[in-house]
Amino acid sequence: MRIVVVGNGMAGSRFVSEVRARSKEARITVFGAEPWQPYNRVLLSNVLAGSSGPDQVRLLDPAWYAEHGVRAVLGCRVEQIDRDTQAVITEDGRREPYDVLVLATGSDPIVPPIPGVERAVPFRTLDDCRRILAAAENGSRAVVVGGGLLGVEAARGLAGRGLPVTLLHLAGHLMERQLDPEAGLVLSETLAGLGIEVRTGVQVSEVLPAGVRLAGGEVVGGDLVVLACGVRPVTALAAQAGLEVRQGVVVDDEMRTDDPSIFAIGECAEHDGTVYGLVAPAWEQAEVAATVITGGKALYRGSRLVTRLKARSVELAAMGETHLTEEQAEVVRFSHRARGTYRKLVIRDGRLVGAILLGESDVVGTLTHLFDRGGPLPGDRADLLFPGLAGRAVADSPVRMPDSAKVCHCNNVTKGQIRACWEAGARDVAGVAAATRATTGCGTCKDAVEGIVGWLCEQEGVSA
Amino acid sequence: MKSPESSIEPVKTHCPYCALQCGMTLTPGAPVVVGPRDDVPANAGGALCQKGWTAAELLTHRDRLTTPLLHGEPASWGEALDYVAGRLRALRAEHGPDSVAVFGGGGLTNEKAYQLGKFARVALGTSQIDYNGRFCMSSAAAASIRAFGMDRGLPFPVTDLAQAEVVLMAGANVAETMPPFVRHLPRLIVIDPRRTATARLAWLHLQPAPGTDLALALGLLHLVIAEGLLDKGYIAERTTGFEAVRTSLASWWPERVERVTGVPVARMRQAVHALAGAAKAVVLTGRGVEQHAKGTDTVTAFINLALALGLPGRPGSGYGCLTGQGNGQGGREHGQKADQLPGYRKIDDPAAREHVAAVWGVRPEDLPGPGRSAYELLQALGTPEGPRALLLFGSNPVVSAPRSLAVAERLRSLDLLVVSDLVMSETAALADVVLPTTQWAEETGTMTNLEGRVLLRRKAAEPPPGVRSDLQIIQGLAVRLGHRFAAEPREVFDELRRASAGGIADYSGITYERIEAETGVFWPCPSPGHPGTPRPFLDSFATPDGRARFVPVEHRAPAEETSEDYPVYLTTGRVLAQYQSGAQTRRIGPLVEAAPESFVELHPSLAAHLEIDAGDRVRVTSRRGSAEGVARITDAIRPDTVFMPFHWEGANRLTNPALDPTSRMPEFKVCAVRLEAVR
């Protein structure tokens, strides 16, 4: 079987590895428009922030293709699909026949049609990242246009490099797809504390040589302008070939387009009315397609979305249906703006269906698991946000401890036994240890035993 | 002339239970009295846990077996051994040598482990021998060999731990399993799905979902790289293979790992900074991360982490695994493992076969090849292709094997089951022939503890009349099969020394006298003048090029995921007052009082959802069976997980025998179950 993959990004490269893990026989050819090995786009924000080197984002070693018998044609665009003869045609006129074709063409950044926009740098590829970093090196102030996930990460990354940043956003609050207005506000305040000026509800009308002009005429200065205005699925190839395209290339639960020998996965695909822009769904889709194409059975039923901001000192997780109101669901909220904390849970039918967690919190992992996998929620919902608050006992003092309380676990010694031993004449830890073996195991109860013996001695003093 | 009192000297020996092998004294008499011994580094200061303090109670226990049983009836040793030997001869004649299998244990002395391996290969001629250590140390062993070329649990003395600033302990609950070990520990980071007694002592506790430790280790290493914490000089000088690992980690960024494991990114970051910021640090793994169908890869991921930080082979730093059973280390070195010959040699290595065959006085070509691994062996018993007879020493698989109901079924289907034990264990109860054997204080032998230190356990009490040692039993059977085998421990040890000479675990320079004089000797010790090797990796690793090997590994989900019918994870483990299958400790009064029965630990949210109250009897059901226990409700466990101890028959009815492809370790630590209150 000849499999041709168009696109060597997160989805395409994952698909190739998944196929190879299942079949040694399939003949695989992958075309990549970018001239290098596939890399992890998710980590580009870290590269911008300096917490990952460009060498740390590579997903496959250069030798991988040869070792696994995969033909990779890099730096080469596919221009056309000839469905009649089942072949793709590249920009340099090369014909590659396929039995199965997989489209993983991803998305292009949206570049707003405004004057001077060519002066701005979109933030999408490793090359973009390098250009931004080069400009930041000599820059004195940056403007980031777009306050979605990527824009916030880019702004944080640049600010972390010591560059003052203005973050401009069209909507009324940041990350409006994932956050409610209050969370957006708390996020703005957190960013402000990190050297980022956030302006929401503003439209950029022109990119100037040293900044941008807003719709009202105001100029926001900056010698580096970064665009993070969202992405658009790359569907031209599919549309031209007559495949059904709406927002993305329309696929069924097997990730198959309306041509049974053509599949689409990742950000270029539209499944059940949804185009996903995150890596987790793309990888799930790659796995389903690889299973189906190698003769297995698998169905894609959509993905649960967890958005996790990767920005130092800004802990933010948002998942599921964060916009539901009290009328539609059970909502639990805790807000403490002075500390940059905002937590919101959305519960429906006894199940966690959405959450926003802003500010550091140990519950992020537990809540993500509850959201992903379901599971019973505690009757007192506050336990979800502040676990252990209800049941945690105050530190045991010798006075309040019942006689049956175990003090030495290694030797199963209770407070009552220590008391009995004290009553029989033991007045220090060594005496108690000799009689009960308390403290002779791991030794961590020594302080507790000391405390009890001391307290008993004190009591004796009081009563004497 | 000495008075009777003064002639009763305390005997210096070691505890019968875990791999820490705490030093203790036994004062002979009725009863035998246990005392602390403070000259042994493992439990310096004379620390002992309750199991150790009460160990002597089993010596005179009313449940001791004192006469062989033939089909449930008392028999003389002559009758019993004649019967067994006759049946073995007949089965071999009819069905070939592999129709007879041997199953050993990690609690057996080095002498017994060695002799069992020799007995199987020479007297029985069977390839079918393995042991319960397969359920214990095999994943860590495979990963250590892959990385370092050698598997010695701790490649440094346990007292080195106190020099470290931080210890990362993944999947071990030492505060319950080997309490005196805790005294050696500095600042502690614990990885465990439960807030265990050990996790409560920790400076930082990472609480991943069961079966996701591998992802967590990958996330930690990703962060080490991303945050610029690599020890690049060490990686360049002492390791190979790092680039492939670096590439493989690009897919395991912390936020993805958080989603898989449930461990917050901030906590992962805290952990790696503590490890990297320490002048000396140690990474340790235990059964919690190892007893999985991906256990070998999980340990490899933690070793990769240790290597990236430049820890192994540096004084006061390193990687180690925490061996569980008393002789879990020595037991995996001397040939009771299916693929192994004494001295940690590989049975398919021609040079190894030649050397060992010469010591045994047989031709190399007469030695069988590798046999089935423990679970595969148990699963094959009584099947058309499998063995028809089993000789079992120092193990209780009816309680301890995964999917235990099916294992018991296999044992019942045998033509002949012979069990050597002190008491009527659950497995002995199924046997055609039960042979009553001596226990630790009634015989002499060597043990190799979790540090790789060879220790001497001395005889301190006479066995009850009618009881024989395993070495005598093996000798008795060997004689009847036409072979001469030694039964004196020292004589067997001297043969073991010759057999191990030149191997990885070389004991040839170790003698009972040296062990006595030096309070133990670390292997390898290749000659009488050699001082032993406390820290084998200081200068180089045991690989052909002397460098440690990075190996890229990938996370995958547990072999059995939760589903609508089985919505909760089960994980299993130990409690302080019980040991292994409980055959010993469930018979000791104070231990039964401390831990009387099996229980099911569950989170308040789950308990409320299932309408289970503390103290209720709970039935836990997996695809393989059901077991019951008393509900204990605690927020120390994740809401998606329940815990059962495995010391009582039951928990392992539930566990999943999915095997690790390399180590053949079953997936004891995670399977899917449902729960209901029994009313």
Supply the pLDDT for residue B7: 61
- Is the domain of A34 the same as that of A136? no
B 581-610 → A contacts, CB under 8 A:
590, 593-594, 604-606, 608-610
Beta strand pairing status for A142-145 and A165-169? parallel
Instruction: For residue A118, give how far its alpha carbon lies from the nearest alpha carbon of chain B (Å).
Output: 32
Strand partners of residue A354: A320, A346
User: Are A412 and B258 within 8 A, CB to CB?
Assistant: no
Backbone angles phi and psi of B33, in degrees to 5? -110, 130
Q: DSSP letter string over A62-122?
A: TTHHHHTTEEEEES--EEEEETTTTEEEETT--EEE-SEEEE---EEE-----TTGGGSEE
Q: How confident is the model at residue B205 (pLDDT cuts 50, 70, 90)?
A: very high
SS3 A32: strand
With 50 as the cut, is the pLDDT of residue B101 above it?
yes
Q: Tell me the pLDDT tens digit for each residue of B121-162.
A: 999 999 999 999 999 999 999 999 999 999 999 999 999 999
Please give the DSSP secondary-structure letter assigned to residue B565.
Answer: S
Residue A62: the pLDDT is 81
User: How far is the alpha carbon of A376 from chain B, nearest alpha carbon, in Å?
Assistant: 6
Name the amino acid, one letter, at B422. L
Lowest mean pLDDT among A28-42, B105-119, B542-556: A28-42
Q: What is the pLDDT of residues A143-178, one digit of tens each?
A: 999 999 999 999 999 999 999 999 999 999 999 999
Residues of the domain holding A412: 406-463
d(CA A278, CA A103) in angstroms, rounded, equals 17
CA nearest neighbour of B226 among A157, A129, A161, A56 = A56
What are the tokens at A272? 């059940």
Does any domain span residue A391?
Answer: no
Taking only the tens place, the pLDDT of each residue in B299-314 is: 999 999 999 999 999 9
Mean pLDDT of chain B: 96
Q: For residue B3, is pLDDT > 60?
A: no
Q: How far is CA B374 from CA B150, B340, B422, B622, B665, in A?
A: 22, 13, 22, 22, 9
Question: Which residues of chain A make contact with B609, given a CB cutoff of 8 A?
Answer: 376
CA distance A403 to chain B (A): 16
DSSP string spanning B263-278? Answer: --HHHHHHHHHHHHHS
% pLDDT > 90, chain A: 83
**DSSP one-letter string for A117-186:** GGGSEE--SHHHHHHHHHHHHH-S-EEEE--SHHHHHHHHHHHHTT--EEEEESSSSTTTTT--HHHHHH
pLDDT at B114 over 50: yes
The Cα A131–Cα A139 span in angstroms is 12
Is pLDDT of A391 > 60? no
Question: Between chains, do A306 and B259 touch, taking CB under 8 Å as contact?
Answer: yes
- Cα atoms found within 13 Å of the Cα of residue B547, Cβ hemisphere only: 14
**Tens-place pLDDT, residues B448-485:** 999 999 999 999 999 999 999 999 999 999 999 999 99
Distance CA B433, CA B418 (A): 5
Q: Inspect the interface and report whether the beta carbons of A368 and B577 lie closer than 8 Å.
A: no
CATH number at residue A128: 3.50.50.60
Mutate to test the interface with B, among A404, A411, A417, A445 (most CBs of B within 10 A): A411
Residue A342's alpha-carbon distances to A185, A318, A368, A420, B599, in angstroms, are 10, 11, 16, 52, 39
Task: Identify from A22, A363, A369, A370 which residue to disrupt to test chain B contact, counting B C-beta atoms within 10 A and taking the largest count.
Answer: A369
What's the CATH code of the domain at A439? Answer: 1.10.10.1100
What is the rounded CA–CA span in Å between residue B129 and residue B101? 6
pLDDT band at B503 (very low <50, low <70, confident <90, very high): very high
Q: Label residues B331-341 b or e (16+ Cβ within 10 Å = b).
A: bbbbbbbbbbb
The mean pLDDT value for A216-239 works out to 96
Per-residue pLDDT of A24-65, as tens digits, reads 999 999 999 988 888 999 999 999 988 888 878 989 888 899
Is A299 within the bounds of a domain? no
Q: How far is B145 from chain A (nearest CA, A)?
A: 25
Chain B neighbors of A388, CB-CB under 8 A: 635
Q: Do B525 and B510 meet the contact criterion of CB atoms below 8 Å apart?
A: yes
Same domain for A127 and A203? Answer: yes
Give B47's contacts in chain A (Cβ within 8 Å).
440-443
CB contact under 8 A, B47 and A383: no
Cross-chain Cβ contact B264/A362 below 8 Å: yes
Domains and CATH numbers, chain B: 69-134+329-522 (3.40.50.740), 138-322 (3.40.228.10), 568-678 (2.40.40.20)
Which of chain A's residues have a Cβ under 8 Å away from the Cβ of B594?
412
| A433 chain-B contacts, CB cut-off 8 A | none
Q: Are B182 and A52 an interchain contact pair (Cβ–Cβ within 8 Å)?
A: no
Residue A256, min C-alpha distance to chain B (Å): 26
Interface test with A, best of B34, B174, B259 (most A CBs within 10 A): B259
Residue A414 lies in a domain: yes
User: How many Å separate Cα A294 from the centre of its chain?
Assistant: 30
Q: In chain A, what is the greatest distance between 2 CA atoms, to the nearest angstrom?
A: 105
CATH number where A351 lies: 3.30.390.30
Token pair belonging to B7? 């002639």
| Cβ <8 Å between B47 and A360 | no
The verdict on B267 touching A (C-beta cutoff 8 Å) is yes
Contacts of B137 by beta carbon, 8 Å cutoff, 6+ apart: B106, B153, B290, B321, B323, B324, B328, B329, B332
CB pair distance less than 8 Å for A46 and B253: yes
Instruction: Assign A248 a pLDDT band (cuts: 50, 70, 90).
Output: very high
Q: Are B197 and B314 in contact (CB under 8 A)?
A: no
Are A200 and A280 in the same domain?
no
Q: What is the pLDDT of residue A61?
A: 85
Question: B388 to chain A, minimum CA–CA distance in Å?
Answer: 38
Mean pLDDT (whole number) for A223-235: 96
C-alpha A70: how far from its chain's center?
30
Give CA–CA dist B139/B523, Å, rounded: 21
When pLDDT is averaged across residues A446-454 and rounded to a whole number, the result is 91
Q: Measured on CA atoms in the order A148, A151, A156, A157, is the torsion positive or negative?
A: positive
Q: Which residues of chain B lie closer than 8 angstroms to A286, CB-CB? A: none
Domain contains A282: yes
Could you tell me which chain B residue has the CA closest to the CA of A379? B605
Final residue of a structural domain among A183, A206, A229: A229
A to B CB pairs, distance under 8 Å: 145
Tell me which of A229, A249, A280 is where a domain ends.
A229
Inter-chain CB proximity B179 and A441 less than 8 Å: yes
Say which residues have a Cβ less than 8 Å from residue B463's Cβ, sequence separation at least 6: B438, B439, B442, B443, B469
**Cα–Cα distance between A187 and B259 in angstroms, integer?**
22
Residue B507, CA atoms < 13 Å, CB-side half-sphere: 30
Residue A35 lies in a domain: yes
Question: Does B1 have pLDDT greater than 50?
Answer: no
> Do both A199 and A287 map to the same domain?
no
Cβ contact A51–B226 (<8 Å): yes
> Looking at the domain assignment, is residue A112 inside a domain?
no
HSE-CB for B288 with a 13 A CA cutoff: 30
Chain B residues closer than 8 Å to A366 by CB: 262, 638-639
Mutate which of A149, A314, A409 to test chain B, going by most B C-beta atoms within 10 A?
A409
Report the residue of chain A nearest B595, measured CA to CA: A412
Q: Are A103 and A236 in the same domain? A: yes
- Asked if residue A97 and residue A8 are part of one domain, the reply reads yes
Contact B603, B243 (CB under 8 A): no
Residue B500 clears pLDDT 70, i.e. is over it: yes
Looking at the fold, whether A94 and A242 belong to one and the same domain comes out as yes
Domain count along chain A: 4
Distance CA A428, CA A406 (A): 18
* Confidence band of A389 (pLDDT split at 50, 70, 90): low
Q: Per-residue confidence at A375, pLDDT binned at 50, 70, 90? A: confident
Distance from the Cα of A410 to chain B's closest Cα (Å) equals: 5
**Residue A330 confidence (pLDDT) above 90:** yes
B225 touches chain A (CB under 8 A): yes
Q: What is the pLDDT of residue B565?
A: 96
Task: Judge residue A304's burial from the number of C-beta atoms within 10 Å of its C-beta, 0-12 exposed, 13-18 middle, 19 or more buried.
Answer: middle
Residue A353: predicted pLDDT: 97
Q: At what angle do helices B254-261 and A364-373 cross, to 10 degrees?
A: 60
Say how far apart CA A420 and CA A446 lie, in whole Å: 17
Nearest to B182 among A40, A388, A443 (CB): A443
User: Among B191, B547, B581, B213, which Cα is nearest to B396's?
Assistant: B581
- The pLDDT value recorded for residue B4 is 45
Which among A229, A245, A273 is the end of a domain?
Answer: A229
DSSP secondary structure code for residue B89 in this structure = H
Are A345 and A413 in the same domain? no
Query: Cβ contacts of residue B628 below 8 Å, gap of 6+?
Result: B598, B617, B618, B619, B620, B650, B678
Q: Which of B53, B176, B265 sits opposite A437 (nearest CB)?
A: B53
- Which residue in the block uniquely carries the two structure tokens 């591998």? B214
Would you say residue A400 has pLDDT above 90?
A: no
| Whether A375 and B197 lie within 8 Å, measured CB to CB | no
Look at residue A390 and tell me if it is in a domain: no
pLDDT tens sequence across B276-289:
999 999 999 999 99
Same domain, A237 and A215: no
SS3 category, B517 = helix
Residue A147 has φ and ψ, to the nearest 5°, of -110, 40
Give A255-275 pLDDT, tens digit per residue. Answer: 999 999 999 999 999 999 999
Same domain assignment for residues A439 and A423 = yes
Q: For position A462, what pLDDT does the model report?
A: 60
| Distance separating alpha carbons of residues B44 and B50, to the nearest angstrom | 16
Q: Do A58 and B259 touch (CB under 8 A)?
A: no
Residues A242 and A343 in one domain: no
What is chain A's mean pLDDT, rounded? 93
Domain assignment of residue A79, yes or no: yes
Kindly report the number of other CB atoms within 10 A of residue B235's CB atom: 22
Quick one: average pLDDT of B588-617? Answer: 95
Say whether B50 and A373 touch across the interface (CB within 8 A): no
* Residue B138, min C-alpha distance to chain A (Å): 26
Q: Are residues A283 and A420 in the same domain?
A: no
Nearest by CB to A442, from B179, B264, B609: name it: B179
Q: Residue A315 and residue B36: Cβ atoms within 8 Å? A: no
Distance CA B160, CA B453 (A): 14
How far apart, in whole angstroms, are the C-alpha atoms of residue B558 and residue B576? 27
Which positions in chain A touch B263 (Cβ < 8 Å)? 365
